[in-house]
Amino acid sequence: MANAVEKSCTMLVYNDKQASATEIKEALEGNDPLAKQAAMKKAVSLLLAGEQLPQLFITIVRYVLPSEDHTVQKLLLLYLEAIEKTDATGKLLPEMILICQNLRNNLQHPNEYIRGVTLRFLCRIKEEEILEPLVPSILANLEHRHSYVRRNAVLAINSIYKLPKGELLLADAPEMIERILRQEQDLSTRRNCLAMLTNNAVDRAIRYLLDSVDQLATWGDLLQLSALDLIRKACRSNPGEKGKFIKTILLLLQSPSPAVMYECAVTLTSLSSAPSAVRAAANCFCSLLSSHSDNNVKLIVLDRLQELKEKHREVMTDMVMDTLRALASPSLDIRKKTLDISLELITSRNIDEVVSVLKKEVVKTQNKEYDKAGEYRQMLVQAIHSCAVKFPEVAGNVVHVLMDFLGDANTASALDVIFFVREIMETNAKLRPNVLERLHTIFYQACGIRTSRVVSCALWIMGEYCSNTAEILAALSTLKDSLGSVPFLTDPAEGEEGAGAASNSTTAALVMGSKRPAVLADGTYATQSAVAEVSSGGGVTGSANAGGPNLRSLLLGGDFFLGGVIAGTFVKLLLRLSALREVPASQLNNLYAEAMQYVVATLRLGESAGSTPTPLDADSRDRMLLCLRVLAGQDTWSNAVWLGDCRSAFALLTTEKQKEATARNARDDARAAVQPDDLIDFQVLKNRKGLSQLEVEDEVTSDLARATGYAEAVAAASSRLNRVLQLTGLSDPVYAEAVVTVHQYDIVLDVTVTNRTTETMQALCLELATMGDLKLVERPQNYTLAPGDTKLIRANIKVSSTETGVIFGNIVYEGTGYSERSVVVLNDIHIDIMDYISPAYCADVQFRNMWAEFEWENKVAIATTFTDVAAFLQHIISTTNMKCLTPPSALEGDCGYLAANLYAKSVFGEDALVNVSVERTQPTVGAPGAAAGQDGGRLAGYIRIRSKTQGIALSLGDKITLMQKAPVTTAAA
C-alpha cells in the first residue's frame, strides 16, 4: 500500500500467538464471558497487526453488543476504535449505524462505568457522522450525578469541539462549560473544564481565573497546574498582559504541592526578569532542593538554578547559602552540580560563609561511615582551591585543615591538597612559615604521607620555600629522620659477621614464615623461601612496612624517581644554606657529606640486583649522579638553575593560570552590547498609576531585554541561514531545502517544500529514514500543494549518542492524471559530531586522570599539506570545536615540534580528550621548497583521541582525518 499513511494508534497490545478468524467467531458465539474476553483480545491484536476481519463484524454485533459484562464492553470499544469506519472514498460505512445505536444506549446506561468508558472512547473518534447523533446524549451526561461521568463528558466535548466541524456540532460549548465550571465541585471535572476553555475560549478562561483569585489558594493541585497552563498560553498570545498574572503566580508559589511550586517558579522565570520575581523563583527552587527526597527532582531543580545563574547572576549571589544545603544529599552527582553552581556565585560578601560550610563538610568526611568519603573530599578540596584562587585572603583559614588529609588513602584527594598547598606557598608569602612547620610535623607522624607523588611535591615545596637557616636545618633534619640510617643495603659478609644470634633468629623467622606454596605462571608449585633468603642475605636493613620511616619505605619499594627528588631537595637546601653564610664551614661540610652519603646509598640500593621490586631506571640514575656532582662542587654553573629558575618557572605557570581563569570568567560574564540607536528608558518617568512595584520592575527589565537582545537576535538569524541545506535540484518538480537545528537530545528539521509545476500535487509525503543513533519521532503526513505553493514540514529526530548520523529520504506525491506516485530522492543530511560537542575547560590533573582512565583510543596519523606546526594546531582547534588546554606560552617559538592537549564536552556529558604531537621533518635534498630557499619539510606525528565511549572517539577521528588534509587557505579562511 504505497499510498497509505500509517495511522496513529492509542494502544499497544502484545500478541505472541496468532488466532484464526474461525476460532474467534466460535468463541464469540458462545455464552462464556471469559471466552468472549479472550476472543475479543485476539481480534483486537489481529487488527492492530494489520489484519482485516470483515467477517467478524456481524458476529460481534449479534453476540457482543448485548453483553452485560463490563470487560467485554470495554474490549468492544477498543475493537471499534481499531476497525476501519470509512470506505476508500472516505465515506462512513453503512454498518456503522448499528454502532451509533449501541453507543447511544451506552451513554444512557444506568451504570456509570459504562457511560464513562464510552465517553472516553468518543474522545478518539474523528468521524462527524458517528458523533452528530450522539451529541444530545453527551450533553445530558454533563448533569449526571457521578463525577466520573461528568469529567469524561467534558473531555468528549473538548475533543469534539476541536474537530473541523466541531463548532457546528457544539455551537454553545464554551458557554456551557463555563457555567459548569462555576458550579462544579469535583476537582478533576473543574480541571477538565478549565483545560477545555484554555484550548478553545481563552478569554472566558482568563475571566474565570481573575474572578476566582481569592479562592486560588484553596484549589487542588490539578486545577492550579491547569491555571498555570492557562497563564502561559495567555502570555504567549499577548505578552503585554503578563503583568496582571504575576501576582497570581506569586500566590500559587505558596502552594503545598511541590509540582505546583516547581511549575510556578518555571513560569515566573519565563515571563518576568524582574529581580523580585527571579528571587521568588530561586527561593522556591531552593526550598524544593532541601525538602524533596528524590534525587532526580533535585537534579532537575539544580538545572533550573543553573539557568537562573547564567541569566541573573546578581540575584543568585544571595542564594548561594541556600543552594549549598543540597550538599546534605548522599548523591555525588548532586553534590558536584551544587558545588559547580555555588563556586560561580562567590563574591567578597559571601566567601567567608561558603568556605566555612566547605570546611565543615571536609571534617564530616573523616567519618568512616560516610558514603564515598574519598571522592567527596576530593570535590571539596577542589572547591576550596578555587575559592582560595579567587580570594587569597581565605587560604589561611583552610590550608591547615586540608593538610590533615595529605596522608589520605585516596591518592587523587591527597594530590589535590598538596597542589593547593604548593599554589598557596607561591601566592601567599605570609603563610609559608606555618605551612612549612605543619609539613615537617606530617612527615613525623606515623600515618603521614603515603603516596610517592604527594611526597615528591611536598619535598619540592620544602626545597623551594625554606628561605632562612632555621627552616633549612629543620627541613634537612626531617629528611634524615624520614630516610633513617644509611646504608640502605649492607654487604652479606658484614651481615654474617656483625649480626648475632638475634639477627640469625630473625632471618630464620623470615625464611620459615615465607615458606608457602605459590602457583607459578606455568602452573607448577614453588615456595618463596629462596626470595626471602636472597633479600635477607642482601642485607636490607629496613623493610618497606608501615612501621619504618615513610621515605625509606618508598625507596625500598623501588621508587627511584623519588630518590632523584630527594637528591634534588638536598641540593637546593644546601646551596641555599651556603648562600646564606650563617653556618660554620665544618658544620656545612658535614651536611654536604651526609647528603652525598644518602644519594650514594640510594644509588647502591638501585644497582644491587634483586634488592628492590623494580630496578633503577637510567633517568633517575643520571639525575642522582648530577646531584652528586653539584654537591661535590664540580657543577657550579647549574647553581642558578637550582636556586632560581625552577621556582620562577612555577611562578610563571601560576600567573598564566590565574590570567587564563580571569579571562575565562570575563568571557562568561560578557553581555551583548547595547545598540547606539536603542531607546533610552528612564524608569523614574514611567507611569506608575495602577501598577505595583513588581509590575514596574518587570516592565523595565522587559524593555532592557528587548534592547540588549537585538544583537543576539541578529546573530541567531544569520546562523540559521548558514544551516540551510539544499535537498533537491532546481530542475526537480519539487524543490526542498532544510534547516537543521540541534537542541541537545533533539534534532529539528524544518523542511520547506515548493511545488514548481503547474499541477496540483496530492498526497505529498516527506518520507525520512536515519542511519546511526538517530530515531524518527513522528510519522509522515500527507499534504496537498497547489501549483507554486510552499509548505513548511517539521520533523523531529531523537539523538541517543555522540555519533555521526545520516538522514536520507524522498518526497512522494501524486499528480493529476498519473496512475503511479512520483518519487523525488533527497540529498543526504549528515549530522556532524561538531553539533554535539562544545569547548570546555578542565584542570591538567583532571585531564591526566581521565586520560589514564578512558579505555577507547583512536590514533590518527598526521598527513597534511601544512608546513607550520602552529598553523596546523589552530586548524585542528577550529575544525574540531575544542579548547586548547596547553597555555600559549608553551606553544610560543619556532622549534619545529609541538605537543598540545585539547578538550571538549558533549551535550550528553561525555568527555573528549585529544593530544596533538606534531613535528616538522627535515626537508629532503632537492625538494621544491628547499630549492627556493624555503622550508620544504612536511609535518609528521600523531593525533590521539580518548573517550569513555567508542562513538565519540571514532566520530572525532573521522572528522580530524577528513579536515587535516584541507589546504592552508582553509585554515586562513
The candidate with the shortest Cα–Cα distance to 176, out of 158, 152, 188, 191, is 158
By C-alpha distance, which of 687, 693, 685, 708 is closest to 246? 693
Task: Give tens-digit pLDDT for 581-593.
Answer: 888 889 999 999 9
- The model's pLDDT over 84-143, given as tens digits with 9 standing for 90+, comes to 877 777 787 887 777 888 888 889 988 999 899 899 988 888 888 888 889 999 999 999
Nearest alpha carbon to residue 92 among 128, 44, 42:
128
Burial track 128-149 (b if 16+ CB lie within 10 A, e otherwise): eebbeebeebbbebbebeebbb
What local confidence, expressed as pLDDT, does residue 786 receive? Answer: 86
Q: pLDDT band for position 5 (50/70/90)?
A: very low
Sign, Cα dihedral of 752, 755, 760, 764: negative
Q: Report percent pLDDT > 90 for the chain.
A: 16
CA angle 909, 910, 912 (to 5 degrees): 135
Query: At residue 970, does pLDDT exceed 50?
Result: no
Alpha carbon separation from 833 to 742, 772, 838, 858, 912 (Å, rounded) = 11, 12, 10, 15, 11
Question: Could you give the CA distance from residue 715 to residue 722 in angstroms, rounded to a whole number?
Answer: 11
Mean pLDDT on 162-170: 85
Contact 457, 561 (CB under 8 A): no
Residue 684 has pLDDT above 70, yes or no: no
Amino acid 916: pLDDT: 92
Say if residue 21's pLDDT is above 80: no
| Strand partners of residue 799 | 774
Answer whether 565's CB lies under 8 Å from 456's CB.
yes
Terminus-to-terminus CA distance in the chain, angstroms? Answer: 51
Contact 771, 805 (CB under 8 A): yes
Section 845-849 average pLDDT: 84
- pLDDT value at position 302? 92
Q: What is the CA radius of gyration of the chain?
A: 39
Q: Residue 336's closest CA among 909, 848, 882?
A: 909
Per-residue pLDDT for 544 more than 50? no
| Among the listed residues 850, 844, 952, 959, the one whose alpha carbon sits nearest the alpha carbon of residue 906 | 952
Please give the average per-residue pLDDT across 799-815, as a whole number.
80
Round to whole Å and give the CA distance between 482 and 439. 13
> Which residue type, as a one-letter code, is found at position 807?
I
Whether 522 has a pLDDT exceeding 60, the answer reads no
| Residue 630 cell numbers, joined | 653539584
Average pLDDT, the chain: 79
| Cβ atoms within 10 Å, residue 695 | 18
CA distances from 705 to 268, 312, 668, 679, 777 (A): 16, 12, 18, 12, 35
Angle at CA of residue 871, ends 869 and 877, nearest 5°: 105
pLDDT at 189: 92
- Render pLDDT for 414-437 as a digit per residue (tens, 0 to 9): 888 888 888 888 888 888 888 888
Distance CA 515, CA 512 (A): 5
Lowest mean pLDDT among 508-517, 561-570, 779-788, 856-865: 508-517
C-alpha distances in Å from residue 683, one per residue of 272, 357, 559, 697: 17, 39, 70, 9
Q: What is the mean pLDDT of residues 471-495?
A: 78
- HSE-up (13 A, CA, CB side) for residue 359: 18
What pLDDT does residue 802 have? 64
The pLDDT assigned to 848 comes to: 86
pLDDT in tens, 174-208: 899 999 999 988 999 999 999 999 988 888 998 99
Selection from 392, 394, 417 nearest residue 407 by Cα: 417
pLDDT for 814: 83
Distances (CA, A) of 355 to 329, 341, 359, 361: 19, 15, 6, 10
Question: Has residue 706 got a pLDDT over 70?
Answer: no
Joined grid coordinates for residue 673: 552590547
Cell numbers placing 858: 583512536
Which run of H or E residues covers position 234? helix 221-237
pLDDT of residue 546: 40
The per-residue DSSP string of 19-75 comes to: --HHHHHHHHHSS-HHHHHHHHHHHHHHHHTT---TTHHHHHHHHTTT---HHHHHH
Q: Which amino acid is at 401?
A: V
pLDDT for 626-678, tens place per residue?
A: 999 998 887 778 888 888 888 888 888 888 877 877 776 666 565 444 445 54
- 942 pLDDT tier (thresholds 50, 70, 90): very high
Rounded CA gap, 351 and 355, in Å? 6
Instruction: Check residue 819 and give its pLDDT.
Output: 59
Express the helix, strand and coil content of the chain in percent, nearest 5 each: 60, 10, 30
Higher pLDDT among residues 246 and 861, named by residue: 861
User: What predicted TM-score, i.e. pTM, was given to this entire model?
Assistant: 0.69
CB 601 within 8 A of CB 588: no
For residue 230, report the phi and psi dihedrals to the nearest 5 degrees: -60, -45
